Amino acid sequence: MKLLTGNDLASGDVIWWTGKGWSRHIGEAVDVGDEGDAILAREEQARRVNVAYIVDAEQTDSGPLPNHIKERIRASGPTVRTDLAINADIPIVRA
């Protein structure tokens, strides 16, 4: 599965493509398949997202889970203060 992620232009928050817009919650992210590059081009041109890119992920019982640790950290939130986490249930390290 392929997910789109980037940063919100106004707040700098990590955001994920939902199929209709952007969300801070990875659980709302959708698989973009082969359409990822076209969506990225359109969204960047409309200035709705900054530094957007495609990430590999897998669908789990809890929702999408990025394959790379960097993206899992971005999805979860700060690792130094878990009380500030956006999606605290994202496992940073795979079991």
* pLDDT for 93 beyond 90: no
CA 76 to chain centre: 10
This prediction's pTM? 0.86
Q: How confident is the model at residue 95 (pLDDT cuts 50, 70, 90)?
A: low
34-63 confidence digits (pLDDT tens):
999 999 999 988 988 999 999 999 999 989
pLDDT of residue 83: 76
Q: Order of strands across the sheet with 2-7?
A: 22-23, 14-17, 2-7, 50-60, 63-66
Can you count the helices (H) and strands (E) in the chain?
2, 5
More confident residue, 88 or 14: 14
pLDDT of residue 64: 95
* pLDDT for 78 beyond 80: no
Average pLDDT over residues 11-38: 95
